[in-house]
Amino acid sequence: MTAATIVPTRLRQYARFGLAALALSAFSVFGSPAHARGPEGIADVAEKVIDAVVNISTSQTVEAKGSGSNTMPQLPPGSPFEEFFDDFFKNRKGPGGGSKGGDNGPPRKTNSLGSGFIIDTSGIVVTNNHVIADADEINVILNDGTKIKAELVGVDKKTDLAVLKFKPPKPLIAVKFGDSDKLRLGDWVVAIGNPFSLGGTVTAGIVSAKNRDISSGPYDSYIQTDAAINRGNSGGPLFNLEGDVIGVNTLIISPSGGSIGIGFAVPSKTVAGVVDQLRQFGELRRGWLGVRIQSVTDEIAESLNVKPARGALVAGVDDKGPAKPAGIEPGDVVVKFDGKDVKDPKDLSRVVADTAVGKEVDVVIIRKGEEQTKKVTLGRLQDPDKVQAAVKTDEPPPEKPVTQKALGLDLAVLNKDLRTRYKIKDSVKGVVVTNVDANSDAAEKRLSAGDVIVEVAQEAVSSGADVQKRIDQIKKDGKKSALLLVSNGDGELRFVALSVQ
């Protein structure tokens, strides 16, 4: 693990016992007591919403491994429980360091703790998917300690959200979603949750950043906050000073497992849409455009005459997808979708997913330097089937093909032997790469033997001579790079810009 780790903020719990309190006096640089942090309204928010925040307790039966029922539980590094458990389990070990009772014991129950919040007085709760994942039993614990068994309504793994329901034993207090789009950097926010199983805990901070992409999922657009979020806070709400939920606390970045002031919450705009669909359908029904996209680098932008570099480059179009009949083609750059600007591929992925299935939208593309508008009726995104790995077979070494060098690549005309050697489908047309110079720009851009060059500068090629001819023309036109449309053996396309200088 690296020094700083992204940590889901669920807490696995194995025991609870008293903690000794350590009192610390806080003084300013002038020696006077430090003032309370934050505006006075925080107390009003906490008092208003605290009863709508719940603890989520789950249990799961797992097989004992290694040392049976004496297995040392996994605790956050630096946890105050660590020393206690260390001594406890060392004392229970038998001769030779092994545990009493043999290497394997009976299945045991593990407990996990997280947080959630009530959004409907009928007993609807929102939390994180990772809080309740693989649970055999889920319980909701109200602020007064009342424990009620809950049922799972639905989950969305891509945004790490889950909806639960339970039968209220008494009247409940619910909270509503606010507008996360209206948040500004520096706005005060309040987090409430169940850190380290301590129960309802209130912390405050500010919005440190918006639309944060930490590569944890396809639709990352987190609110970053310095409000203290720790293990056990997962699924808990992040409030604005009006008492509206503007995020669901989900992840932290930490070298130790504890808060260092970098926490992430799924914005309420995303949460509200996901929750509505889970309540209505029990699953997510996301929009689907039917394209594969990639980033528009400066080199690609120069080759496609896109100024400034922006948008999402269409690298491939699904034959059965909505984009195909609308006239969208590989090489198009999507710069606006349904009236919303598209700055990068993540923007397009998010806005398409959030758009209703069956809606007709305007998609603005740049093709050969000119803007065009295409009308697309969105389909529904389906989870892709798992692709079985190809079984390797021993093959006799084929004859070495006649090749031509260009841009640090050895290129050959596709024939039956080369298709068999590199497992290239018959539908793939172009010039096959048989070798890549390790010191070339092509190697840096991760081209490899078996890749097929389909187009150079948006013109089809079928031989090494065709490739060289296009490169010569690109140099003559004074351009710095050549835009290649490259396919793998399965026909999946991507664009690669290679320097011609």
Active site residues: 130, 160, 234
Rounded to whole angstroms, the Cα distance separating 277 from 207 reads 28
Burial of 43 (0-12, 13-18, 19+ CB in 10 A): middle
Structure tokens at 63: 């097989």
* Cβ atoms < 10 Å from Cβ of 374: 18
Nearest to 482 by CA among 467, 464, 462: 467
> Cα 251 to chain center, whole Å?
11
Read out DSSP for 369-433?
TEEEEEEEE-EE--PPPPPPPPPP---PPPPPPP-EEETTEEEEE--HHHHHHHT--TT--SEEE
Would you give the end-to-end CA distance of the chain in angstroms?
A: 41
Rounded to whole angstroms, the Cα distance separating 366 from 372 reads 6
Contact 48, 114 (CB under 8 A): no
Stated length of the chain: 501
Residue 261 is classified by DSSP as S
In degrees, rounded to 5, the angle at the alpha carbon of residue 327 between the alpha carbons of residues 324 and 330 is 75
Rounded to whole angstroms, the Cα distance separating 418 from 420 reads 5
Nearest to 19 by CA among 82, 107, 112: 82
Nearest to 10 by CA among 151, 110, 152: 110
Q: Return all residues near 248 (Cβ < 8 A) that are at least 6 apart.
A: 126, 127, 128, 161, 235, 236, 237, 238, 265, 266, 268, 271
Q: Return all residues near 87 (Cβ < 8 A) that are at least 6 apart.
A: none
Rounded to whole angstroms, the Cα distance separating 293 from 410 reads 27
Q: Which residue has the tokens 């394997």?
A: 104
Rounded to whole angstroms, the Cα distance separating 419 from 128 reads 46
* Cβ atoms < 10 Å from Cβ of 212: 15
Residue 51 is classified by DSSP as G
Contact 140, 125 (CB under 8 A): yes
Q: Is 88 left (phi over 0), alpha (psi -120 to 50) or beta?
A: alpha
Nearest to 259 by CA among 249, 268, 269: 249
